[in-house]
A and B are shown apart, each in its own frame.
Chain A
Amino acid sequence: MAKKPTAKKVAAKKKPVAKKTVAKKKVAHKKAATSSIRSAAKTAPKRSVARSGNPSAKVLLAMHLKMIRIRKFEENAGRLMEDGKVPGALHLYVGQEAVAAGVMQHLSNEDWITSTHRGHGHLVAKGGEFNPMFAELFGRSTGYCGGKGGSMHISNMDLGMLGANGIVGGGVPIAMGAAFANKFHKNKNVAVAFFGDGASNEGSVHEAANMAALYKLPCIFLCENNGYGEYTPQANHQAIVDVADRASGYGMPGVICDGMDVMSVYEAAGEAIDRARAGGGPTLLECKTYRYYDHVGIRGMGLNYRTDEEVAEWKKKDAIASFEKRLIQLGVLTQKKIDTLYASIEEDIAVAIKYATDSPFPLPEELLKNVYNEEGA
């Protein structure tokens, strides 16, 4: 006998709160991949009115600052890696700044996020400081993880950042678990799971999304669709154009926003986060965005997988440049003020790089520490 339909199922059928934009054409194959991403970005909803009135100048400035702090951090980190000064592999966030800034503007330190291998931007936007971040990338004892995590595992529990993650899709079930803990403790905090279009094909994402919807957890599945899973274009790794299409299969709203427009992200993320805080359950929010740099590093491995023209086309939509133009028009910022901000950030970064390079490496006895927690319950 079929089970009685539950409230969950009814909720699943409700129309998503934000308008969903589905790419018109069903572009299934390789050549059309990038153009479909472009068209999706172009047609993503752009609304001039924010959910609760226009955001204050303070909010606009805060998001701008987050974005430029990320970009400068990443430009410098990438340079240091390619100069051989930072060990290992860095996956840089340049191009996607609007997503981290627009989402994190709604979160406090009490809200959790899980990040990806491309995680520096999320941490900067969550309040990460340059000194311990650079120190971590340099593998120094003064880093956020004492040098034991590095770029791919950088984290800060006090800021609510449950780690970058070296495993694609690895953070998503963890965010679901953090959202469960929020609900268990009956607080109003949320958990945001960042993942990419590539990770959207991982079973871990699917299982976590199903459970979050089932338990109505305050969890936001934040897909940064940058059009590539490593070096493979989206059309070669999935037969859909919009990852948000999968939301209905989980019984949660699926929303698409323009990940190159911080206001679009701010608005869509705000709605999803508000709904989660109010007990309305999870949302799958897809931000159409683009990675300016290579999968690893800036120039990376020089693999021939996308054209310079495509990169140039996306850079025309640069989230920071367009937002600055808008802020100047609104009279919130002046070019002079912007220049001062950049100079000040560059200065902070220079200080942080010096701090990191002057910091000691972890001592050998650190190796076996914190494998276990030695304290009892």
Chain B
Amino acid sequence: MSEAAKPAVRKLPYVLAINEGIREVLREQKDAFLAGEDVAEAGSVYGYCGGLLEEFGSERVIDTPISEKGIMGLGVGASATGCRPIIDLMFMDFIGECMDEVANQMAKMRFMFGGKATLPVTVLTMGGAGGGMAAQHSQSLEAWLAHLPGLKVVMPSDAYDAKGMIIAACRDNNPVFVVLNKASLAMSMEVPEGAYEVPIGEACIRRQGTNLTIVALGRMVHEAMAAAEMLKEKGIDAEVIDARSVQPFDTETVVKSIKKTHRALIVHEAVKFGGIGGEISAQIQELAFDYLDAPVMRVGAPFSPVPFSPALEKIYIPNADSIVAKVTETLAL
């Protein structure tokens, strides 16, 4: 029967979607290479570079020393001079080791050179807590990057977006940080074969609603979706927006939604103080103040380093319960 011959829907976990994204890019771009700590022989500590060395060879899949300044400098120098590097920064927390290369060189070179330099470099990096990795391997530092003119920053929340955003980032002629989430690595969903792009700078409405807009970043999208279901029982019909891109940020989609729902909550895994939620909140109040029926709410991590103990880490990371609690408290439900 023809029904039986039809291929089953292909599901892929986040980790393999990353692999496919990189693979598609290396296939289509002859000037692209992947460099990072343990990406070649070991296939990355997360497993998402498996098989790449075998397919593309050691000239294009390159193990580096543990030298983040060197690796990021490699990305800056090689991208300015004709390559399209994919740089793997194993943990986002390591960005402190190479912040000069990121903030003072990569982000600014094109501007400082009066537009004469182009840096088509993509940095893959892993953020997020939840694995008992403690204070130096669990942070969400996207606000550090989004504050730097010249960089683009995206946060794919699921496997489909991870693949599509890596491809979009690598086709972009600017430095793009793809901030992945380690707690999402095993999450599976349908992911198409072949190359496709998830455009940078476009948010996605994951759930339609009428009483409240929840803007979520990265893995928090899934917590927001769960919270929306819980809120439904309390009579709140929440719209959930996956920001997807932090820089540039899709203000338009968010504002449009709030003009409909009149209430807003922003949720991210990063520390609340100074997090990107403050920026989003300010934009909402600048552009949609008259439409708001309640203060703009924020849910983020408390102002402490990420704790090690599972007991503390569990309460540290925002989740559906804390989102619901915030909504209940603010709206006096």
- A225 CA to B149 CA in the complex, in Å? 34
Q: Are A143 and B74 in contact (CB under 8 A)?
A: no
Known contacts A162-B77, A184-B59; is A170 also within 8 Å of B100 by CB? Answer: yes
Give the chain A neighbours of B208 by CB distance below 8 A: none
Q: How far is the CB of A213 from chain B (nearest CB, A)?
A: 10
The residues of B that contact A112 with a CB separation of less than 8 Å are 77, 81
Q: Does A166 contact B (CB under 8 A)?
A: yes
A157 is an interface residue with CB less than 8 A from chain B? yes
Q: Which of B33, B67, B170, B172 contacts A207 (CB 8 A)?
A: B67
**A163-B112 contact, Cβ under 8 Å, with A174-B80, A377-B173:** yes
Comparing A62-70, A146-154, A334-342, the segment that makes contact with chain B is A146-154
B276-312 interface (Cβ within 8 A of A): none
User: Given the interface contacts A163-B109, A207-B70, does A173 sit within 8 Å of B76 by beta carbon?
Assistant: yes
In the complex, the answer to whether A178 meets B77 with C-beta atoms within 8 Å is yes
A157-B171 contact in complex given A180-B74, A204-B101, C-beta closer than 8 Å: no
B166 to chain A, nearest CB (A): 13
Interface check B72, CB cutoff 8 A: yes
Contact of B81 with A373 in the complex, beta carbons under 8 Å: no
Which residue of the partner chain, among B104, B116, B150, contacts A371 with CB atoms under 8 Å?
A: B150
Per-residue contact bits, chain B 49-87, to A (CB 8 Å; 1 contact, 0 not) = 000000000010010110111101111111111111100
The distance from the CB of A70 to the nearest CB of chain B, in whole angstroms, is 21
Sample of 13 A–B contacts (CB below 8 Å): A145-B112, A145-B113, A147-B114, A155-B117, A167-B105, A173-B73, A176-B73, A181-B82, A207-B65, A207-B67, A207-B70, A373-B119, A377-B120
Judge whether A204 and B113 touch: CB under 8 Å. Answer: no
CB-CB under 8 A from A207, the residues of chain B are: 65, 67-70, 73
Nearest residue (CB) in A for B172 is A377
Whether, in the assembled complex, B46 has its beta carbon less than 8 Å from a beta carbon of chain A, the answer is: no
Contact A181 B65 (CB under 8 A): no
Given A162-B77, A204-B100, is A210 in contact with B113 using a C-beta cutoff of 8 Å? Answer: no
B residues 1-38 touching A (CB-CB < 8 Å)? 29, 31, 33
Q: Report the separation of the CA atoms of residues A373 and B107 in the bound assembly, to the nearest whole angstrom.
A: 11
Would you call A47 an interface residue if the criterion is a C-beta within 8 Å of the partner chain's C-beta atoms? Answer: no
Nearest to A217 among chain B residues (CB) is B74
Within 8 A of A (CB), among B105-160: 105, 109-120, 149-150, 152
The 6 closest A-B pairs by CB, nearest first: A177-B77, A173-B73, A207-B70, A370-B115, A146-B114, A145-B114
Tell me the B253-291 residues at the A interface (CB within 8 Å). Answer: none
With most chain B CB atoms within 10 A of its CB, the pick from A147, A148, A174 is A174
Q: In whole Å, how far is B67's beta carbon from the nearest beta carbon of chain A? A: 4
B174 in the interface (beta carbon within 8 A): yes
What is the CB-to-nearest-CB distance from B84 to chain A, in angstroms, rounded to a whole number? 8
- Which residues does chain B contribute within 8 Å of A373, judged by CB atoms? 110, 115, 118-119, 173-174
Give B246 Cβ to nearest chain A Cβ, in Å. Answer: 15
Roughly how many angstroms separate A38 CA and B117 CA in the complex, as a whole number?
40
Chain A nearest CB from B80 CB (Å) reads 6
A373–B33 Cα distance when bound, in Å, is 21
Contacts of B174 in A (CB 8 A): 372-373
Bound CA–CA A114/B112 (angstroms):
14
Q: Mark A208-248, 1 if CB is under 8 A from B, else 0.
A: 10110011000000000000000000000000000000000
- Is the pair B117, A181 in contact by a Cβ cutoff of 8 Å? no
Chain A residues positioned under 8 Å from B65 (CB to CB): 207, 210-211, 214
Q: Which residues of A contact B64 (CB under 8 A)?
A: 211
Task: Determine the residue in chain B with the shortest Cβ distance to A209.
Answer: B70
A249 within 8 A of partner (CB): no
B111 pairs with A371, CB closer than 8 A: yes
Question: Could you tell me the distance in whole angstroms from the C-beta of B301 to the nearest C-beta in chain A?
Answer: 30
Question: Given A143-B114, A373-B110 in contact, is the A211-B171 Cβ separation under 8 Å?
Answer: no
- A375 contacts partner chain B, Cβ-Cβ < 8 Å: yes
